[in-house]
């Protein structure tokens, strides 16, 4: 269970870093730039902790796909970026893929 907490912390750290990176404006604004670097560092640290028990294929697919979906939501709500129905279908397919890999696959990805 502890390793899934590490995975959640890796995802949250990565989302924090990515949101800060947008505000860093090409690393020209120092505080968001620093927060991005710190967030990505923590994300790598927590992801490595999760990989001690979670198969790499499962951990990375969850980390990346949840990160993508949440980043789109951050873009929509924080930065007022638009998403059309094709984008929503794509995000739904990403989530379906994660559900299939984590919930139904018997292989050690």
DSSP per position, 79-98:
S-----HHHHHHHHHHHHHH
Task: Please list the pLDDT of the chain residue by residue as tens digits (109 residues).
Answer: 899 999 999 999 999 999 999 999 999 999 999 999 999 999 999 999 999 999 998 899 899 999 999 999 999 999 999 999 999 999 999 999 888 888 887 766 5
Compute, in degrees rounded to 10, the torsion defined by CA atoms 100, 101, 103, 109.
160
| Contact assessment for residue 35 and residue 16, using Cβ atoms and an 8 Å cutoff | yes
- Which single residue is written with the structure tokens 């927060």? 35
Question: Structural domain boundaries of the chain?
Answer: 2-103
User: What global pTM score does this model have?
Assistant: 0.88
CA triple 6-19-66, angle to 5 deg: 45
């Amino acid at each position: 269970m502890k390793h899934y907490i590490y995975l959640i912390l890796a995802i949250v750290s990565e989302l924090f870093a990515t949101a800060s990176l947008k505000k860093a404006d090409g690393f020209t604004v120092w505080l968001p730039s620093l927060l991005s670097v710190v967030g990505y560092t923590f994300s790598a640290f927590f992801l490595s902790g999760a990989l001690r028990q979670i198969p790499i294929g499962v951990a990375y697919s969850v980390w990346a796909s949840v990160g993508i979906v949440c980043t789109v939501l951050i873009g929509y709500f924080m930065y007022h970026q638009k998403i059309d129905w094709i984008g929503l279908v794509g995000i739904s397919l990403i989530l379906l893929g994660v559900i299939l890999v984590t919930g139904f696959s018997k292989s050690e990805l």
